[in-house]
Chain A
Amino acid sequence: MTIKRRHTEELPEHPDFLWKNPSPKKSYDVIVIGAGGHGLATAYYLAKNFGITNVAVLEKGYLAGGNMGRNTTIIRSNYLWDESAGIYEKSLQLWEGLEEEVGYEMFFDQRGVMTLAHSVSDLRSKQRNFYANAVNDIDSQWLTPEEVKKIAPIVNISPDVRYPVLGATYQARGGIAKHDWVAWGYAKAASDLGVDLIQGCEVKKVKVENGKVVGVDTNQGFISANKVAMAAAGHTSVLSEMAGFRVPLQSRPLQALVSELLEHVLDTVIMSGAVHVYVSQAHKGELVMGAGTDAYNSYAQRGGFHVIEHQLASALELFPIFSRAHLLRTWGGIVDIAPDASPILGLTPVEHLYINSGWGTGGFKATPGSGWAFADTIAHNRPHDLVKPYSLNRFVTGHLIDEHGAAGVAH
């Protein structure tokens, strides 16, 4: 089918019910814990690619009510290391056909993602990233300040500012999508293939017998399963503890914000690590910005306002034009951060229990690729090639995938 692409003005009416809300069955082949983007995508690809349809996705809150509804919707694949290039580029390729594949509009919009460099060391590290992308066949361009200005006229490229723009990397295939529509698209497609999406179902205990998972205790009773897959982001540590093993994750608040609706002034995504800004303008016209993580561990889905103030001050440094914009709304999600800022994926010390976690501050873009590779991992009970480098064991062997810098901004 062909999807009509609407860039800005009219958003369609809110959709009618897109999926069934069944009561849980007594038993499933696979239980996925967490109906966020990664959990829903995993369930969809289990059904679609492997014919495994006796699947439940358990969600303690409501569908896509966690980080899937709280991120800044940025999509790109221009990471530094080969391992990241593998899974994020697979993800971007899936994004490029996703609306057609699931038959649901997601407002996927390849408006480009630009990452600015402001100092000599910044310039060198961005150029290193640019060349690394070239080696990995990931589209990337190097922009001069004048070229930056051409694509984004509102950027201040004067040399006489505190953070002058010295250059930028630009991934034209990057962009944004409407995150809730992505979740709904996957949910509808998974439900149509027979997957049970069960909201308000909280896992209280992961049941393990003789080293193998046998099911989960929930607030709706015990549900048995041959395989259990965790896709619970900030709550991964809590679930792992229920299953009897530890993960090297810390849960932190990550806040984001939107301005009031404005005329369109920015039709690309701009990131700056040195100034700490990432901003895009959503379809309706609000500026969407992400702040940094709050310093401390938390499960409260909120953070300090000084973090928002810091973020806005940074944004004004680069975009003086935003100074009159009003802040409309701020919110927080709980992100699970691994020591090397890369995800933890694959098998666990418990047989038939799988982990999809550690996406930290940048999991949205990976939704399709993560679900795709994780479903393959679950179906075959071995890590897919794209998943292999992300094993829990890398913290023992020392094969870390350090993407602190490539996260675009420091968190």
Chain B
Amino acid sequence: MLLINCPWCGPRDETEFHYGSEAHIGYPEKPEDLTDKQWAEYIFYRNNPKGWFAERWVHNVGCRRWFNIWRNTVNHEFGPSYKPFTKQPSRPQ
């Protein structure tokens, strides 16, 4: 089980959270201008890196708030977690 550092509550068990996949996917600014291919990119395509990944979690049985966190998909090591709309910490080395 992962120990996930909620930026509001501190470290909690993984079972308190839900996963929200890749972070920093914004809704298209001009949706009316998007081609079908661009819509497909927005809806279906997410990065799937082997290594560090900035992702979203929600602390659904705790503070119920969303946040972002760096996590390494190879060894499950965590980097810094950070609140939405704050500056993204640089990718851990």
Which A residues form the contact surface with B (CB < 8 A)? Answer: 235, 237-238, 246-251, 295-300, 304-306, 339, 395-398
Contacts and interface: CB of A to CB of B under 8 A. Distances in A.
Interface in B44-64: 44-46, 48-50, 53, 55
Given A246-B45, A295-B19, A397-B36, A304 B1 contact: yes
A297 B49 CA distance: 9
Given A246-B45, A299-B50, A300-B75, 11 more contacts: A237-B50, A248-B45, A250-B48, A296-B73, A297-B21, A297-B55, A299-B74, A304-B1, A304-B2, A395-B45, A397-B36
Most buried by A among B15, B40, B55, B75: B40
Nearest to A237: B48
B18 interface: yes
Give the 9 A-B residue pairs with the shortest CB-CB distance, closest first.
A295-B19, A237-B48, A248-B44, A396-B40, A395-B40, A395-B44, A304-B1, A339-B44, A299-B50
B73 A300 contact: yes
Contact of B48 (A295, A297, A397): A297
B48 A300 contact: no
Contacts of B21: 250, 297
Contacts of B36: 396-398
A246 B38 CA distance: 13
A249 B48 contact: yes
A153 B39 CA distance: 51
A295 B18 contact: yes
Contacts of A248: 40, 44-46
B37 interface: yes
A339 B14 CA distance: 24
Chain B interface size, as a band, is 20 to 34
B35 to A, nearest CB: 9
Given A295-B18, A299-B73, A396-B36, A305 B1 contact: yes
B73 A251 contact: yes
B76 interface: yes
B88 to A, nearest CB: 18
Interface of B: 1-2, 14-15, 18-19, 21, 36-37, 39-40, 43-46, 48-50, 53, 55, 71, 73-76
B33 to A, nearest CB: 16
Contacts of B14: 295, 304, 306
Most buried by B among A238, A296, A298, A305: A296
Contacts of B19: 295-296
A296 B74 CA distance: 12
Contacts of A295: 14, 18-19
Contacts of B45: 246-248, 395
Contacts of B50: 235, 237-238, 251, 299
Contacts of B71: 296
Contact of A251 (B1, B2, B44, B48): B48
Contacts of A247: 45, 48
A23 B90 CA distance: 42
Contacts of B44: 248, 339, 395
Contacts of A306: 1, 14-15
B75 A296 contact: no
Most buried by B among A251, A297, A304: A297
8 contacts: A235-B50, A246-B45, A250-B21, A296-B2, A296-B73, A300-B73, A339-B43, A396-B37
Contact of A250 (B1, B46, B75, B76): B46
Contacts of A339: 43-44
Nearest to B38: A396
Given A251-B48, A306-B1, A396-B37, A300 B74 contact: yes
A352 to B, nearest CB: 23
A297 B40 contact: no
A237 B53 CA distance: 14
B53 A297 contact: yes
B46 to A, nearest CB: 6
A306 B13 CA distance: 10
A305 B1 CA distance: 6
